[in-house]
Amino acid sequence: MLTYTLRVAEIRQETEDTITLCFKQSGLKKIKYLPGQYLTLIFRINGRRFLRPYSFSSAPGIDQYLEVTIKRIMGGVVSNHIHDQVKVDDLIEVMQPLGDFTYTELQFSADKQIVLWGVGSGITPLMSIAKYALSLPNGPRVSLIYGNKNFESCIFLDLIHKLKDQYKSKFSVWHFHTRLKIDEENPSVIQGRIDQSKVHAVMNKIDDHANTIHYICGPVGLKESVKEALKGLSISAECIFSEDFEIVKNPKDFEGIMTQVAKIISNNQETFVEVVSGKSILEAGLDAQLELPYSCQTGNCSVCKGKLLTGKLKIIGIEKISHELKPDEYLLCCSYPLTNDVSVLV
């Protein structure tokens, strides 16, 4: 996988727990990306290598810097490291941009309206898509439906206001807040979560449902509510895209999976690792300090692909298995050993 080294040009505080890292493009090897893709940041923390993907909040061709926006996660290794240690002028190693949660004018005709559904830090790829699509001459109408606790936790609030002023006839925004008392001072805010009935209420205000494409990024509950409501409005699955920042595992899927020892062959070296019940082969390898390739850990990027040589694995957490995988290839971030003779080649 191609890697680059980028210099931090600026760090912006967005909300109390969220910052944006702005990277300068390198003069020689420019990074190309699509709106909605993500950049994988690589850090060495206490001797161990950590990789984490962050969606671009910048838009190609519009923003001067490559920007990623990071929310501090309680107890999180990398998000806290970024918030507490990264400074302007630091050099950070990154992987080439990845991801298929993208919008380009070539994918859809201009009469397709874009509807963006986001909660909290899920706004990042949606902002990249919104900025890009709104800037297109004769480009599509864009609607943003954005859930937060209150205005203080709303990332990019000023930018959203600015875009609304700039693109009055093309850009509509609905804010949903769970912790705000709605009164005359906040007429454009709807109280509560974005649930199915609220999706219907918003969609009633958007004309021509058949001509809408939808991008969803946020917690599982948001994805399920929006998808279910859109199904009821007969919007086809090909027009609905979603991005997961983490997999929420269902404990039922782990019934019958026990702690096993597995063999990982990487860089011509064989290592036996204990795969504690509930951990993936990738997690077990990383815990054993193996420097294995990975990025998303949600079954999206295929970077963690390995070849199963012996034994049986169970795939957990992926809705669709990539058609690019051969029958003996597995995504190790979503693979769990069913037998005690598993060996994989990375």
Q: In this structure, are residues 215 and 127 in contact, taking their beta carbons and an 8 Å threshold?
A: no
144 binds ligand FES (CB under 6 A): no
Start-to-end CA span in the chain (Å): 13
CB atoms within 10 A of CB 298: 17
- Based on CB atoms, which residue is closest to ligand FES, 222 or 303? 303
Region near ligand FAD per CB under 6 A, out of 2-10, 73-81, 128-136, 192-200: 73-81
Vertex 6, ends 3 and 10: CA angle to 5°? 150
Residue 65 touching ligand FAD (CB under 6 A): no
Cβ-in-10-Å burial (0-12, 13-18, 19+) of 6 comes to buried
Query: Are the C-beta atoms of residues 119 and 146 closer than 8 Å to each other?
Result: yes
Asked if 145 and 117 count as a contact pair (C-beta separation under 8 A), the reply is yes
Q: Does 286 bind ligand FES (CB under 6 A)?
A: no
**d(C-alpha 294, C-alpha 287), whole Å:** 14
Cβ at position 143, least distance to ligand FES in Å: 30
Identity of the residue, 128 or 295, whose beta carbon is nearer to ligand FES in the bound complex: 295
Q: Is the dihedral of CA 216, 221, 227, 230 positive or negative?
A: negative
Closest distance between ligand FAD and the C-beta of residue 245, in Å? 4
Should residue 38 be labelled a site residue for ligand FAD when binding is judged by CB under 6 A? yes
299 part of the interface to ligand FES, by CB under 6 A: yes
In the complex, least distance from residue 244 CB atom to ligand FES, rounded to whole angstroms = 11
Stretch touching ligand FES by CB under 6 A, among 233-241, 265-273, 298-306, 336-344: 298-306
Q: Given candidates 33, 38, 294, 330, which one binds ligand FES under the rule CB under 6 A? A: 294
Q: Tell me which of ligand FES, ligand FAD, none is bound by residue 70, counting a contact when its beta carbon lies within the kind-specific cut-off of 5 to 8 angstroms.
A: ligand FAD
Choose the one of ligand FAD, ligand FES, none that binds residue 52, judging by a C-beta under 5 to 8 angstroms depending on kind.
ligand FAD
DSSP 313: E
Determine if 135 is a binding residue for ligand FES (CB under 6 A).
no
292 touches ligand FES (CB under 6 A): no
Q: How far is the CB of 157 from ligand FES (least distance, A)?
A: 31
Residue indicated by tokens 């507490």: 84
Closest CA to 212 of 109, 311, 312: 109
Member of 59, 189, 296, 346 binding ligand FES (CB under 6 A): 296
List the alpha helices (DSSP H) in 89-235: 123-135, 157-166, 196-205, 220-232
**Tokens of residue 244, six digits:** 């997961």
Question: Segment contacting ligand FAD (CB under 6 A): 23-31, 63-71, 143-151, 280-288?
Answer: 63-71
What CA–CA distance (Å, rounded) separates 336 from 258? 9
Does the protein bind ligand FES through residue 82 (CB under 6 A)? no
Report the alpha-carbon distance of residue 137 to residue 57 in Å, rounded: 21
Considering beta carbons, is residue 99 or 122 the nearer one to ligand FES? 99
DSSP state letters, 249-281: --GGGGTT---EEEEEEETTEEEEEEE-TT--H
Residues forming contacts to ligand FES in the complex (CB under 6 A) are 294-297, 299-304, 331, 333
Binding positions for ligand FAD, rule: CB under 6 A = 38, 52-55, 69-71, 73, 75-80, 99, 121, 124, 243, 245-246, 296, 298
